[in-house]
Structure 1
């Protein structure tokens, strides 16, 4: 069971964390939650798609694979072969504190140690170690992303920029797969935006995010190539 506690430099001065990825850490998934403030970095590697939650709200995902539970960026050696790892997978055993301040760490996560293996969280003579500083920056991305998520997608919906679709993918050797129940940027509507709407979206950053999400779909052929290499096709 998870055992999240507020992190502090008194009780946890000797903690270290193994920086690794794997199925045991929840990384063997073909989609992962993504926030709009990650689109610029993420669109270099992943197709960015959108889904609706149970309440009709919109959220973004990075597509990692074309088969269930298959992350094509995850290596058997615990590496993640992309220029950017989504924040919810970068954070490891850490999470933002519900108070909005500080960091929580799951002491029962297998990556957390007290035997000196892995990256230290605190410097020997006090102060934050570089790895913990990195984690704090990742958690700041998550906090910011959670704050801008709903307003950005509401602006897109008001402008009619999201279109429900199913993407049919030819995997080669007669195999196909369908990515269903998704939303994508409607490029024709994006191109036809009126000046006032265009200006409003530009000022909020929503326009730039839309262009990045649209461009990210060019990564689907690269995903197919990764899959073919992995499966020897």
Structure 2
């Protein structure tokens, strides 16, 4: 359970954040949310799959790091073995929250239960006179982009639904040691349906800026083979 607090210089002047990567720091996750505006960067390293929220009926895109809960195949010796980390991972333990007065004003919050918070080591959030450090300014930019693009992504998912471009995925993987892994509960872009769209539908998707993230999501599926190779390598080395 998180314990969110509004980030302020008065309350958090001496706060430090560890930026190394480890399971003990909260990085042992098999997936995180991603937004269409970062699909181009995400697809270079991770499969992008779509997950249905049964409560809302809406979809969210997920960058996949492993095959089972708590498995991150990109963690290696205190580092993240990829050139890009999705915004939702890289901005932790910070998040966007609404103002206490209920307005739409966004504020930077911090999860005070995060193991990344350290009294002695890590990146300063504020300097000695209470100004945001370059580290915090970068985090704030990431949070702003993530929040803005998450809200904007509603149009993207509406377009996918309108043209019925998502299909369920069940992926069975047999590893080198004979063990089996399965990815279920996700959707992918239906490539055959995309290819068969009428020109007017393609023009609509292009005009709205949706074609590029669709293509990026499709291209990302090539990373499933890399994910399998990472799993086999980890099994081989114990």
Q: TM-score, normalized by length of structure 1?
A: 0.90
The within-5 A match list for 1:40-189 is: 40-54=40-54, 55-77=56-78, 79-99=79-99, 100-115=105-120, 117-189=121-193
Q: Tell me how large the CA RMSD over aligned residues is.
A: 2.0
* Structure 1: runs of 5 or more not aligned: none
Q: Deviations over 1:145-196 (max 9, x none)?
A: 3202322111011112111131222323433322122211111111122222
The within-5 A match list for 1:209-228 is: 209-228=213-232
- Structure 1 match to 2:36: 36
Q: Deviations over 1:22-79 (max 9, x none)?
A: 33343212222222222111100111111211132111111111234211001242x2
1:37/1:144 contact within 8 Å kept = no
2:26/2:115 contact within 8 Å kept = no
Cα distance 1:164–1:123, how it changes in 2: closer, same or farther (>3 A)?
same
Separation in structure 2 between the aligned mates of residue 11 and residue 173 of structure 1, nearest angstrom:
52
Pairing 1:190–2:194 present = yes
Separation in structure 2 between the aligned mates of residue 188 and residue 109 of structure 1, nearest angstrom:
43
Separation in structure 2 between the aligned mates of residue 2 and residue 166 of structure 1, nearest angstrom:
32
Q: Deviations over 1:129-156 (max 9, x none)?
A: 1110111122112202320232211101
1:169/1:178 contact within 8 Å kept = yes
Cα distance 1:92–1:154, how it changes in 2: closer, same or farther (>3 A)?
same
* Structure 2: runs of 5 or more not aligned: 100-104
Deviation at residue 128 of structure 1 after TM alignment: 2.2
Separation in structure 2 between the aligned mates of residue 110 and residue 230 of structure 1, nearest angstrom:
25
Secondary structure at 1:84's aligned position in 2? coil
Separation in structure 2 between the aligned mates of residue 92 and residue 178 of structure 1, nearest angstrom:
28
- Structure 1 match to 2:11: 11
Deviation at residue 87 of structure 1 after TM alignment: 1.7
User: How many equivalent pairs are there?
Assistant: 231
